[in-house]
Copies of this chain bind each other. A is one copy, B any other.
Amino acid sequence: MKKLIKGLKLGDHYDELFSYTQNEVDIFAKISGDLNPLHIDEEFAKNSIFGKRIIHGYLGTCIFSKVFAMNFPGEGSIYLKQDLKFFKPMFTIEKYRANFVIIEHLKDKHRALFQTNIYDSKNNLIVKGEAIIQNSKLL
């Protein structure tokens, strides 16, 4: 557990750059059981409205789970709520930015409401979300 940030407050924010490989998409397809050919079948995806394979929305957004546990707030975070709106598909060749902002802080409950959005390299909004995290030491 690295980069512990103490004393988070309203308005604090954090950015994480990330991307996924097709190998990770294939592995996620196996462990989730979501074998939608849009994610794993190159030929099928080429003839779809997306033109190529897309990342599972669930895999693309699990960066939220990673950052809450590891970075912002970090160790001891308990996931209470995550809302996700999938606006655009995600692709393995793209680089993305996950942006976190504390938009409400219930200090007495050690909880915070985070805006959790994903943007592509051209700053298009790809996923819009909100999460509630509890962390008795860092919130």
Contact = CB atoms under 8 A, between A and B. Distances in A.
Copies of this protein in the complex:
2
A1 B41 CA distance: 12
Contacts of A58: 58, 61-62, 64-65, 82
Nearest to A56: B65
Contacts of A69: 34-36
Interface residues of A, number: 35
Contacts of A119: none
A79 interface: yes
Interface in A46-84: 56-59, 61-66, 69-70, 75, 77, 79-84
Interface of A: 1, 18, 20, 24, 27-28, 31-37, 56-59, 61-66, 69-70, 75, 77, 79-86
